[in-house]
Chains A and B, each alone.
Chain A
């Protein structure tokens, strides 16, 4: 990862290099790569977003599980880190969307997980 200045970054994912532009200092960042544009909202400081209808957490992209912090039956609080993923040589904590009790854990350390699949489900 090299910051090229003016919001441009050179990201090496081990297979190829990407030139990515990022802009926005506030709660929302805009990102550009290869003609694609997206926005990312930063979570509100000290008050993680409540998504009461969610029954689990999933990875938004292919990633490797590097740590599992919970077991079935365990109570977790909102915003607590339940799994740590790694992608792009970076660790990315996955947090509980709400307070609850862990129902199932569907992954283990070292697993390569795909997007759209629940990794931890809550009761």
Chain B
């Protein structure tokens, strides 16, 4: 080590990471690699943790140190708070970044870090607790003036009182059993005249299914968009919003494509959502990066938005914001966690151009999106201006059944939405993953779907249309592909026998897909 200012060696000084000197990353895959990169820039030493399945993983190779934390199942390794904190202590780390998923939103973990004297790169455990309860968070948001989906369980459950509640909440309304779930007993009421019959039916079904006929009444948001606002707060009283991301393209609540700006937002609604997100963060004493998720009904100046929940961590899709706004959110997280003020002010933040993120999943769209496991025989990412790939895999990586099937994220930036769309398409066509099936062929079709081109995707779109889009991924390959396979077999050093030398791929062709 050379002390700062020593004439004969490199100068060591804080590059923006605050007081953090050595950071343990309590995560794996692409997000661990992403965080390690930010640490490199800031001169922060990095400690990776890994399970038995990840000993050779890229995030382990990228870190300055690595600590084994257990067997492959996440609950025995990455989700074991005691082991992760012990690893931080053993490696001399002074801070922990939880990434997303795993322990990132567990209040008890943040609290354990605080008690162990470790800086938790995220909000205080008290914020996690307050946002962790959906019912509690809803009350907090109502008190803070943040719009939520209107709804109530009327204390008076008489026909007249329920019908009055429906009229108060507005049409279309949804009646559902308070004790319920899974869509049982849910009735849509579009006009006041439909009220009595719907209430009677919902009550009967609620009683039969749950033994409790208490009904909940809420506004039905039809074909909503998922729009979320990035917020950021520091420990000096500064709090900003960093605009929106639209994440309506999701399958069974699993996001697949995210973009920013949201094409349906007018400037006034964007501003109102930004202010609502700031109010939400303030209400829970938030610090560091967080995201307020909203449902958006309609578009333009008349659009209405409703708070869903706050994600008290860095989001998977944070690069979309980084590209459009020109900020480094992980770097800012480390600065704020290290005690520094936010590196930007609200007035300095603007959106420029358009960014699209495509999540690359190890799943087979042609087989109902079943997850794929196995080694990546060949992996090559696209490159070029405006193309960014965040990944945690490489050729030879074995995709494990133990973890999330996301291999990588492709993020592109263009001057306009259309420029970003065609860039994403070109990049997807240049993204080679062999050995397991991925959703890349599906993404190529999705980005060419007329609804996507028209920016007319709601949160139910992929659940309605996904199967039909998956069918369009089956197509014929050019003959060049077969010729290359024949050549590969001819020159491949590990040919099983001479008899295979003259086998032709033509007679055994199967499973071609775009």
Contact = CB atoms under 8 A, between A and B. Distances in A.
B452 interface: no
A37 B441 contact: yes
B508 A21 contact: no
Main secondary structure of the interface of A (DSSP, over half): strand
A115 B477 CA distance: 12
Given A30-B434, A37-B513, A97-B507, 15 more contacts: A20-B480, A20-B484, A23-B435, A24-B435, A32-B434, A33-B478, A33-B484, A36-B477, A36-B481, A60-B482, A61-B479, A62-B479, A92-B504, A94-B507, A95-B504
A85 interface: yes
Interface string A40-82: 1111011001000000010111110000000000000000000
28 contacts: A1-B483, A1-B484, A1-B487, A9-B487, A9-B488, A13-B478, A13-B480, A20-B480, A24-B435, A31-B477, A35-B440, A36-B441, A36-B512, A38-B481, A38-B509, A38-B510, A38-B511, A38-B513, A40-B482, A40-B505, A43-B500, A63-B479, A87-B483, A90-B486, A93-B502, A94-B504, A95-B504, A95-B507
Contacts of A18: 478, 480-481, 484
Interface stretch (B267-275, B346-354, B490-498): B490-498
Q: Chain A CB within 10 Å — which of B429, B478, B496, B502 has the most?
A: B478
B440 A40 contact: no
Contact of A38 (B431, B477, B496, B507): B477
B108 interface: no
Nearest to A47: B499
A56 B432 CA distance: 35
Given A9-B488, A21-B434, A90 B440 contact: no
B511 A34 contact: no
B24 to A, nearest CB: 34
B378 interface: yes
A13 B479 contact: yes
A42 B378 contact: no
A89 B486 CA distance: 12
A42 B500 contact: yes
Interface of A: 1, 3, 6-7, 9, 11, 13, 18, 20-27, 29-43, 45-46, 49, 57, 59-63, 85, 87-90, 92-95, 97, 115
B451 interface: no
B506 A92 contact: yes
Interface residues of B, number: 51
A42 B514 CA distance: 21
A94 B506 contact: yes
Interface string B458-497: 0000000000000000011111111111111101101011
B507 A7 contact: no
Contacts of A30: 377-378, 434-435
A11 B484 contact: yes
Contacts of B476: 61, 115
Contacts of B482: 31, 40, 60-61, 87-88, 92
A38 to B, nearest CB: 4
Contacts of A57: 507
A77 to B, nearest CB: 15
B489 A35 contact: no
Given A11-B480, A31-B481, A38-B481, A49 B508 contact: yes
A35 B378 contact: no
Contacts of B441: 35-37
A36 B499 contact: no
Given A3-B491, A36-B481, A38-B477, A21 B486 contact: no
Interface in B419-466: 428-435, 437-438, 440-441, 444
Contact of A25 (B484, B494, B499): B494
B432 A32 contact: yes
B378 A25 contact: no
A32 B444 CA distance: 14
